């Protein structure tokens, strides 16, 4: 214990934690600075100054003591408690000035309130130890200390029950402060005497009752085994994990029990057995250290807990156990140093200590691999290759773990530190939404009941608004031969209450948005082009706080969502966007028909290649001259092979055969795709046993993947036949389709429909909108043209009044470098890259970041970016921070297209250098 008087400890106990605390506060301060008033700023600076001053004073004292070779003195302990306790207390008192109520809580890191107690508590605890050690003489009686310690909660109880009700002070704030200060002082004195009692026992144990093996064993059993297990039990059954965290896992109990047993085992005389016991104790010591840090911030509350429910002693258990285990390990080391080399003992201990953290990391990492394999299959599956079966066993465990670590509500606590570590290691600090978790469960287990269909807020067009004025001004940019059209809207909320304006509109092919503004309090605020996920997250957060955001982003295909919030009752707001396009464009916006540019300039009579030569733009004028052709249908039967359909498979095959016969469809014109969580193509369905051999009936019916594969094949291998997709299932409501296929509609020019084979008849469904709902419109087969000619067609295009854009190659070019701001050709290249990205989701990791960056560079909105306006600097900072988090979500995305020659981390090199010096000095 006396080693705690070595001034070097101050570096680890005070200097480093306060530096970390400073950096955490600095990060928060940068985000919320613009929301703080002068008074708030003054409080911030006063606290920073006070903390900085204390830090510097402690560091100076530390350096002085090291140089002068002096131990930490009693005065240090006293001054530390007299300065840091008031500072912590004032932090609570001025909490509302540091973080005013009007600062949205989503801008702050989680557990922000706990930062100061967590990082200052080591200093306070150490200060108390210093006092305790310096003020304890040899051969003192521990019972006196314990007696005083017990007396304090008793006094408090008497005070609260008898004296306090009679006390009628003049000012309630006075009594509030007096009680708080008395409580803090009482806590410090209580902990001092309690700690001193324990210290005396351990100090005098050579000649003490602890030498009695029965008493020693009893103490060890109580502190090492009974209290930890009891504490975990109380936390689980009485607090319901609401206060300290969720320690309900079997492993917390198991390791507590094992650790208790290891502590209680009498020290063996055999050196090898003692070494093994020491190493095993080292393994579980990391568990004890973990709980020591978890409970350290709650140390001052132990007195309150003792007064209130008597369970406060359980809160002290991790700290007492930590001391006990340190002492035990110290004894083991002293013994082992006599028999083994110091290096072996220390190295063995270091390895033992790292066992549990390493196992935990390995388990978490395997969760990450299982989760990412499943996510890759669903979101980044290779449409060309056959799917590989994903192990559903490990995934089930991961989804359970993700659910456990998810912040469910403010009341439920996660596992302290470990949940943050899990979220960082497994989820890259992002969250896996419940929708995604459910989707994974549905795809891989197929037994999740479908929710009631919720209204899709994205695609909503609201009523109660009036588009009062639309003005369009177009100028022709001769340099790039394209129109730049500025469209301004004046929108009125006809309601008498606050409402959100939301609409969607379809932008014509070859037109892109490259600027956006919203008027906020009379000022035109330009839109920030941001990564889509980050922007929609921020919009949601700001909307909840009723501030002034506006957002615009792609839904599917060329459909764009446009939302503004809030609109006060009868308020008129203006917004505008800039579109870049080739010829004249026409589209509908909130019931008004908008025409921009004209055909006298811009629209060319020949195809345009994008600068990277990956993408082709075929204007409607060119399509008009292309030869029209009629292709014959080729049927693709998607057969449901999910767990639920195992019994129905014979009925499905009979239904298909009957349909083929009745409609005189040749077998050569029919293809079969067996689908559950994966897809498998087979040539024939005549023998059901063959089908059962080809695919095992498990998981859900991932229809979306099967359709994507058919569209992929149709896009890359255009044939004289066009695909007709027919789905065969009795469980239509359990089919999994999360989105429309508008982005891939270029692959199926003849039709926007697919069909469900219902006994004898076909029920049509739209590929573009709500694919799972029956299509109520007319079934149309559009005329198509062959490009570039009829004899060697490379692509079939729908013959209509719109241009067509498709890819002709997927060469890896530096899109970021070649993109130019506000350039139509760059926008065309971006569109082609997006289409390539949709067709090759397996390359998402490499392509996505480049696509986002290129979109920023070209200042053109794409399906991966979004235009957002925010009200103030704080929101902008929050957006940029979230965006950075999203862009760095995957390590492989950090690198981008080019390799960065980044230098190694500062602390890594410093640490290695210090280790090298320690080795040189033969300290290690």
Partner 1 sequence: MRSQILLTIKFFSEQDTINVLFIACVLTLGIILKFLFSAAATEDLLFVLSPVNSLVEVFTSSHSEYLIDEGYLYADLNVVIDKSCAGINFLILCFCITTFSVAQYYKQSVQWILIPVCFVLAYVLTIGVNSCRIISAITLLNAQENFPWITSPWVHEAQGSIFYLTFLIGTFLLIKFIHRKPALKNEDSA
CB of 879 to partner 1, least distance (A): 18
Please say which residue, 777 or 905, places its beta carbon nearer to partner 1.
905
Other C-beta atoms closer than 10 Å to the C-beta of 190 total 23
Q: Which helix (H) or strand (E) holds 398?
A: helix 392-405
CB of 812 to partner 1, least distance (A): 11
CB of 907 to partner 1, least distance (A): 9
**How big is the CA angle at 599 (ends 597 and 603), to the nearest 5 degrees?**
100
Please say which residue, 170 or 923, places its beta carbon nearer to partner 1.
923
Please say which residue, 64 or 379, places its beta carbon nearer to partner 1.
64
Of 805, 836, 829, 825, nearest to 509 by C-alpha is 805
CB of 894 to partner 1, least distance (A): 7
Please say which residue, 52 or 783, places its beta carbon nearer to partner 1.
52
CB of 605 to partner 1, least distance (A): 35
Please say which residue, 42 or 814, places its beta carbon nearer to partner 1.
814
Measure the CA dihedral 629/633/634/637, to 10°.
140
Please say which residue, 531 or 603, places its beta carbon nearer to partner 1.
531
Q: In what order do the strands lie in the sheet with 761-766?
A: 679-682, 670-675, 632-640, 721-728, 753-758, 761-766
CB of 899 to partner 1, least distance (A): 5
CA distance 189 to 149: 8
Q: Before 393, cis peptide (omega within 30)?
A: no
Please say which residue, 165 or 905, places its beta carbon nearer to partner 1.
905
Phi, psi for 533 (deg, rounded to 5): -60, -45
Please say which residue, 135 or 912, places its beta carbon nearer to partner 1.
912
Q: Are strands 572-581 and 585-589 parallel, antiparallel or unpaired?
A: unpaired
Q: Is the separation of the CB atoms in 364 and 426 below 8 Å?
A: yes
Please say which residue, 334 or 920, places its beta carbon nearer to partner 1.
920
CA distance 678 to 389: 7
Of 542, 571, 574, 556, nearest to 504 by C-alpha is 556
Distances (CA, A) of 498 to 356, 492, 522: 54, 12, 18
CB of 884 to partner 1, least distance (A): 14
CB of 238 to partner 1, least distance (A): 45
Please say which residue, 9 or 421, places its beta carbon nearer to partner 1.
9
Contact residues for partner 1, defined by CB under 8 A = 8, 11, 60, 62-64, 66-69, 814, 817, 891, 894-895, 897-906, 908-910, 912-914, 916-918, 920-921
**Contacts of the segment 776-784: beta carbons below 8 A, 24+ positions apart:** 779/751, 779/753, 780/751, 781/750, 781/751, 782/749, 782/750, 782/751, 783/628, 783/630, 784/628, 784/629, 784/630, 784/631, 784/722, 784/749, 784/750
CB of 11 to partner 1, least distance (A): 6
Q: Is the separation of the CB atoms in 367 and 405 below 8 Å?
A: no
Distances (CA, A) of 610 to 823, 829, 830: 11, 5, 9
Q: Is the separation of the CB atoms in 487 and 576 below 8 Å?
A: yes
CB of 421 to partner 1, least distance (A): 19
Q: Are strands 804-807 and 615-618 parallel, antiparallel or unpaired?
A: antiparallel
Please say which residue, 680 or 881, places its beta carbon nearer to partner 1.
881
Please say which residue, 59 or 555, places its beta carbon nearer to partner 1.
59
CA distance 80 to 917: 33
CB of 909 to partner 1, least distance (A): 5
Of 318, 320, 329, 317, nearest to 282 by C-alpha is 329
CB of 390 to partner 1, least distance (A): 24
Q: Is the separation of the CB atoms in 751 and 716 below 8 Å?
A: no
CB of 539 to partner 1, least distance (A): 26
**Contacts of the segment 791-797: beta carbons below 8 A, 24+ positions apart:** 793/629, 793/718, 794/718, 795/718, 796/629, 796/631, 796/718, 796/722, 796/749, 796/750, 797/618, 797/623, 797/626, 797/746, 797/749
Q: Are strands 632-640 and 670-675 parallel, antiparallel or unpaired?
A: parallel
Please say which residue, 662 or 898, places its beta carbon nearer to partner 1.
898
Please say which residue, 114 or 916, places its beta carbon nearer to partner 1.
916
CB of 431 to partner 1, least distance (A): 24
Q: Are strands 761-766 and 753-758 parallel, antiparallel or unpaired?
A: antiparallel
């Amino acid at each position: 214990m006396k080693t705690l008087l070595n001034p070097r400890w101050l570096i680890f106990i005070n200097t480093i934690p306060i530096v970390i605390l400073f950096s955490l506060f600095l990060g928060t301060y940068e985000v919320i600075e613009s929301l703080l008033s002068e008074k708030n700023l003054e409080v911030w600076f006063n606290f920073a100054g006070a903390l900085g001053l204390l830090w510097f004073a402690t560091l100076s004292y530390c350096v002085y003591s090291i140089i002068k070779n002096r131990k930490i003195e009693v005065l240090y302990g006293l001054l530390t408690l007299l300065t840091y306790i008031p500072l912590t207390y004032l932090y609570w008192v001025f909490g509302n000035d540091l973080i005013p109520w009007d600062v949205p809580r989503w801008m702050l890191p989680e557990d922000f309130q706990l930062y100061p107690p967590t990082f200052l508590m080591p200093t306070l605890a150490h200060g108390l130890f210093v006092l305790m050690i310096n003020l304890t003489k040899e051969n003192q009686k521990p019972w006196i200390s314990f007696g005083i310690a017990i007396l304090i909660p008793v006094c408090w109880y008497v005070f609260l029950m008898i004296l306090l009700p009679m006390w009628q002070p003049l000012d309630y704030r006075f009594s509030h402060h007096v009680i708080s200060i008395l409580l803090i002082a009482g806590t410090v004195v209580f902990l001092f005497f309690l700690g001193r009692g324990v210290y005396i026992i351990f100090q005098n144990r050579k000649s003490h009752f602890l030498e009695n093996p029965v008493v020693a064993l009893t103490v060890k059993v109580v502190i090492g085994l009974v209290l930890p297990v009891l504490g975990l039990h109380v936390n689980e059954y009485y607090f319901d994990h609401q206060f300290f965290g969720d320690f309900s896992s079997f492993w917390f109990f198991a390791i507590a029990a094992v650790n208790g047993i290891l502590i209680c085992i009498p020290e063996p005389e055999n050196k090898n057995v003692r070494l093994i016991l020491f190493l095993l104790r080292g393994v579980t010591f990391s568990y004890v250290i973990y709980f020591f840090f978890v409970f350290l911030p709650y140390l001052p509350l132990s007195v309150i807990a003792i007064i209130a429910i008597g369970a406060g002693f359980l809160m002290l258990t991790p700290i007492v156990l930590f001391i006990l285990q340190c002492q035990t390990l110290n004894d083991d080391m002293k013994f082992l140093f006599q028999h083994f080399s110091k290096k072996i003992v220390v190295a063995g201990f270091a390895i033992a200590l790292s066992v549990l953290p390493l196992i935990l990391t390995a388990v978490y990492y395997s969760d990450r691999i299982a989760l990412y394999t499943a996510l890759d299959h669903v979101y980044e599956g290779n449409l060309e290759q056959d799917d590989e079966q994903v192990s559903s066993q490990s995934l089930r465990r991961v989804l359970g773990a993700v659910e456990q670590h998810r912040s469910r509500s403010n009341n439920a606590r996660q596992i302290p530190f470990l949940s943050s570590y899990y979220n960082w290691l497994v989820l890259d600090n992002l969250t896996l939404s419940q929708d995604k978790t459910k989707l994974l469960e549905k795809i891989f287990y197929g037994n999740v009941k479908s929710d009631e269909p919720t209204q899709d807020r994205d695609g909503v067009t609201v009523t109660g608004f009036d588009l009062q004025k639309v003005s369009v001004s177009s100028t022709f940019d001769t340099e790039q031969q394209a129109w730049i059209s500025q469209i301004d809207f004046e929108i009125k909320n006809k309601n008498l209450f606050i409402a959100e304006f939301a609409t969607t509109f379809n932008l014509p092919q070859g037109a892109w948005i490259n600027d956006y503004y919203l008027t906020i309090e009379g000022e035109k605020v330009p839109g920030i082009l941001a990564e889509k996920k980050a922007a929609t997250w921020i919009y949601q957060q700001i909307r909840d706080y009723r501030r002034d955001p506006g957002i615009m982003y792609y839904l599917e295909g060329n459909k764009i969502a446009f939302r503004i919030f809030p609109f006060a009752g009868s308020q008129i707001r203006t917004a505008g966007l800039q579109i870049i396009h080739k010829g004249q464009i026409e589209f509908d916006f909130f019931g008004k028909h908008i025409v921009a540019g004209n055909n006298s300039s811009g629209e060319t009579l020949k195809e345009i290649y994008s600068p990277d030569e990956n993408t082709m733009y075929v204007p409607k004028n060119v399509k008009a001259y292309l030869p029209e052709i009629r292709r014959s249908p080729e049927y693709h039967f998607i057969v449901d092979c999910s767990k639920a359909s195992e019994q129905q498979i014979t009925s499905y095959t009979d239904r298909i055969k009957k349909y083929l016969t009745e409609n005189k469809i040749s077998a050569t014109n029919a293809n079969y795709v067996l689908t559950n969580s994966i897809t498998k193509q087979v040539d024939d369905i005549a023998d059901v046993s063959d089908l059962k051999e080809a695919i095992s009936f498990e998981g859900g019916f991932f229809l979306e993947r099967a359709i994507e594969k058919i569209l992929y094949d149709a896009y890359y291998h255009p044939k004289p036949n066009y695909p007709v997709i027919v789905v065969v299932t009795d469980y239509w409501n359990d089919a999994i389709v999360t989105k429309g296929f508008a982005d891939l509609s270029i692959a199926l020019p003849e039709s926007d429909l697919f069909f469900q084979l219902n006994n004898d008849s076909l029920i049509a469904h739209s590929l573009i909108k709500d694919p799972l709902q029956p299509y109520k419109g007319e079934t149309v087969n559009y005329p198509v043209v062959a490009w570039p000619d009829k004899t060697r067609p490379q692509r079939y295009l729908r013959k209509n009044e719109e241009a067509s854009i498709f890819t002709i190659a997927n060469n890896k070019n530096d899109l970021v470098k070649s993109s130019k701001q506000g350039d139509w050709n760059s926008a065309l290249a971006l569109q082609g890259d997006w289409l390539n990205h949709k067709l090759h989701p397996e390359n998402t990791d490499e392509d996505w970041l480049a696509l986002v960056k290129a979109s920023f560079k070209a200042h053109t909105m794409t399906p991966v970016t979004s235009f957002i306006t925010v009200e103030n600097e704080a929101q902008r900072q929050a957006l940029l921070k979230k965006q950075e988090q999203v862009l760095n979500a995957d390590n492989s995305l950090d690198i981008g297209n080019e390799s960065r020659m980044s230098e190694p981390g500062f602390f890594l090199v410093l640490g290695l250098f210090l280790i090298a010096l320690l080795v040189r000095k033969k300290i290690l």
